[in-house]
């Protein structure tokens, strides 16, 4: 994988205005694997100008024409599936098998879904004596994180392009290489110049310039609640559309009739996938008092199977976390959990044995966690599971809803109706019933401080549309 030293602007790799560079580090061995330019406000200006200039033409392209280009983008990504997986493994540290099946195949499928939606979506509807036109919002500023780097890019860009919007992307500084690869795929797909533009750079510089830019009509951000809050405030001040996909602290609620072994093992896998760096991870397991000790023992046994290892080794189920900063942050939370009185039944804050190099964290399970503890309230974003005890169903609802977040969750029961009734009481954007599969057409997004707006499927498309009503 070769790093570009330019920005992809107006259909070409342009020399950056900013002279700084960002080192891309492999979190498994701490080696520098690439160097990308650190864009500045002038680079963002050039990219936004290109996106503005391209907007009228792209918006006027019939949906079938836009669909054809997105389908070509899907094909270009599919042709690079192995390169995508290798790149994400190298810059994020995700085990290669997971990188292939999730980091590559998921965005390829999402792109395919938006090609189909662009072709079939009703961009015009009749309401009484009105014809309602669903028109693109304009220029989109997309700011993405590093945890599912290509998926988060595609979820925004493919939806925006399907709607007829043009885009400037500022990807995470930790994972810019897969973003450059995406720009290459856009180019190969024959997407017209200026419709998609890439500015690599630092959040507080390039990201902030993009979020604040007058030429941007909609900011779509995925990342931390702290940054999302600021972006929302800036967008509100400018009366600009904004979509925010923020953090989570999702509950995995195991009702008394559920298959405990299955619920715990699926739940542990859910959290340890991607080294716990998943905004929708079910990081709180809720179990009834009668089966609490059994659940803790099952989780301890399940965690023992996740030995931190080289993400290139096919046997590794758990790679490092993305950066030294993230490792220190996660270990800090593990120390804090112990200090607040939770009991470590697996893992701990020390470096895993034999993994002193690389940003590895021991997969950790906490028992005796109470709802007000920091580790039960804050997003840790590492391989850390908390197990909480509930007294009855009302108590379980109270605990599950008792954080500022509301992104995802799970309910397990022998009786599906009971699980659905419980899910209706949860303040969260998604609930998986008895291990229901991820659906890339289902709206994804948060209640409460987990965000504003929805991504994926038709709901994700409508984020990039505004209506115009014609009366007859
Ligand atoms: P972050 O700072 O919110 O990063 C997300 C994106 O926003 C990155 O592209 C980042 O650029 C950019 N950014 C940062 N400051 C900005 C600003 N002032 N204006 C505009 N854009 C800005 O998140 P992080 O530092 O990577 O991770 C911190 C924590 O956030 C994690 O530990 C986790 O809890 C949470 N997180 C959540 C998600 C999620 O999917 N919900 C994803 C990632 C992280 P840089 O890459 O240059 O910082
Ligand atoms: Mg940051």
pLDDT value at 314 more than 90: no
Pocket probe for ligand 1: among 176, 203, 278, 322, the residue whose CB has the most ligand atoms within 8 Å is: 203
pLDDT value at 1 more than 70: no
- Burial, 265: exposed, middle or buried (Cβ in 10 Å; 0-12, 13-18, 19+)? middle
Residue nearest to atom 42 of ligand 1 (CA): 223
For the chain, the domains span 7-246+450-471, 251-439
pLDDT value at 340 more than 90: yes
pLDDT value at 335 more than 70: yes
Residue whose tokens read 């009105």: 130
- Tens digits of per-residue pLDDT, 2-53? 799 999 999 999 999 989 999 999 999 999 999 999 999 999 999 999 999 9
Task: Specify the fold of 251-439.
Answer: Aldehyde Dehydrogenase; Chain A, domain 2 (3.40.309)
- Mean pLDDT calculated for residue range 412-441: 98
Residues whose CB is under 5 A from ligand 2 (ion)?
A: 203
CA atoms within a 13 Å half-sphere pointing along the CA-CB vector of 138: 14
Q: pLDDT band at 382, cuts 50/70/90? A: very high
Is 279 labeled as catalytic in the residue annotation? yes
- Tens digits of per-residue pLDDT, 153-208? 999 999 999 999 999 999 999 999 999 999 999 999 999 999 999 999 999 999 99
Integer Cα distance of 229 and 226 in angstroms: 5
Integer Cα distance of 439 and 457 in angstroms: 9
276, 108, 393: which is closest to 267 by C-alpha?
276
Q: Supply the DSSP string of 346-370, one letter for each residue.
A: E--SSPPTT--SSS----EEEEEE-
Q: Tell me, what's the pLDDT at 348? A: 98
Integer Cα distance of 463 and 217 in angstroms: 12
Q: Are 252 and 269 in contact (CB under 8 A)?
A: no
Integer Cα distance of 8 and 4 in angstroms: 9
359, 316, 357, 361: which is closest to 335 by C-alpha?
361
Ramachandran assignment for 373, one of left (phi > 0), alpha (psi -120 to 50 degrees), beta (any other): beta
Token output for 427: 């303040």
- Give ligand 1 pocket residues (Cβ under 6 A): 143-147, 170, 172-174, 202-204, 207-208, 211, 222-224, 227, 230-231, 245-247, 279, 329, 379, 381
Q: Are 147 and 171 in contact (CB under 8 A)?
A: no
Q: Do domains 7-246+450-471 and 251-439 have the same CATH topology?
A: no
Cβ atoms within 10 Å of 15's Cβ, excluding its own: 10
Token output for 114: 């938006």
454, 462, 466, 431: which is closest to 244 by C-alpha?
454
Integer Cα distance of 334 and 402 in angstroms: 21
Residue whose tokens read 């974003």: 381
Integer Cα distance of 88 and 15 in angstroms: 25
- Tens digits of per-residue pLDDT, 203-261? 999 999 999 999 999 999 999 999 999 999 999 999 999 999 999 999 999 999 999 99
Integer Cα distance of 45 and 200 in angstroms: 13
Q: Tell me, what's the pLDDT at 304? A: 96
Q: Tell me, what's the pLDDT at 2? A: 79
Cβ atoms within 10 Å of 59's Cβ, excluding its own: 16
For the packed helices 292-303 and 260-272, what is the interaxial angle rounded to 10 degrees?
Answer: 40
In DSSP terms, 197 is beta-bridged to 168
Residue nearest to atom 45 of ligand 1 (CA): 203
pTM over the 0.85 mark: yes
Q: Tell me, what's the pLDDT at 461? A: 98
Q: Are 365 and 346 in contact (CB under 8 A)?
A: yes
Integer Cα distance of 219 and 232 in angstroms: 9
Token output for 43: 């680079």
The reply to whether CATH 3.30.430.20 applies to domain 7-246+450-471 is no
Integer Cα distance of 200 and 408 in angstroms: 30
Residue whose tokens read 């008792």: 402
Which candidate in 245, 379, 455, 463 is catalytic? 245
């Amino acid at each position: 994988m070769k790093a570009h030293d330019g920005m992809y602007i107006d259909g070409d790799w342009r020399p950056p205005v900013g002279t700084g560079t960002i080192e891309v580090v492999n979190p498994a061995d701490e080696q520098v694997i690439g160097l990308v330019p650190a864009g500045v406000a002038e680079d963002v200006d050039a990219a936004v100008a290109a996106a503005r200039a391209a907007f009228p033409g792209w918006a006027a392209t019939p949906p079938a024409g836009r669909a054809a280009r997105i389908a070509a983008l899907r094909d270009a990504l599919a042709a690079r599936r192995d390169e995508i997986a290798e790149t994400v493994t190298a810059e994020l540290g995700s085990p290669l098998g997971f990188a292939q099946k999730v980091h590559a195949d998921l965005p390829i499928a999402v792109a395919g879904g938006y090609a189909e939606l662009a072709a079939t979506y009703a961009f015009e509807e009749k309401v009484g004596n009105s014809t309602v036109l669903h028109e693109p919002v304009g220029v989109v500023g997309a700011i993405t994180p590093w945890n599912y780097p290509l998926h988060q890019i595609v979820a925004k860009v493919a939806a925006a392009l399907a709607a007829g919007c043009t885009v400037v992307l500022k990807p995470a500084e930790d994972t810019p290489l897969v973003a450059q690869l995406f720009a290459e795929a856009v180019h190969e797909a024959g997407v017209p110049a200026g419709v998609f533009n890439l500015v690599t750079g630092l959040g507080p510089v390039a990201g902030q310039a993009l979020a604040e830019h007058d030429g941007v009509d909609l900011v779509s951000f995925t990342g931390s609640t702290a940054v999302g809050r600021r972006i929302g405030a800036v967008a509100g001040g400018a009366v600009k559309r904004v979509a925010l996909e923020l953090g989570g602290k999702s509950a995995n609620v195991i009702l008394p009739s559920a298959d405990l072994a299955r619920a715990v093992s699926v739940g542990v896998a859910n959290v340890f996938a991607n080294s716990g760096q998943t905004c929708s991870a079910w990081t709180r397991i809720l179990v009834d008092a009668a089966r609490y000790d059994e659940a803790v023992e099952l989780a301890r046994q399940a965690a023992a199977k996740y030995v931190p290892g080289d993400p290139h080794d096919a046997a590794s189920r758990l790679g490092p976390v993305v950066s030294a900063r993230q490792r220190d942050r996660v270990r800090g939370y593990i120390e804090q959990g112990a200090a607040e009185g939770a009991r470590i039944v697996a893992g701990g804050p020390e470096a895993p044995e034999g993994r002193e190099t690389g940003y590895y964290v021991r997969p950790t399970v906490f028992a005796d966690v109470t709802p007000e503890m920091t580790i039960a309230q804050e997003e840790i974003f590492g391989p850390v599971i908390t197990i909480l005890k509930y007294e009855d169903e009302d108590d379980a609802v109270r605990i599950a809803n008792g954080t500022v977040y509301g992104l995802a969750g799970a309910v397990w029961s022998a009786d599906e109706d009971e699980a659905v009734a419980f899910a209706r009481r949860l303040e969260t954007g998604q609930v998986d019933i008895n291990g229901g599969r991820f659906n890339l057409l289902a709206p994804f997004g948060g209640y409460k401080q987990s965000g504003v707006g929805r991504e994926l499927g038709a709901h994700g498309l409508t984020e990039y549309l505004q209506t115009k009503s014609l009366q007859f």
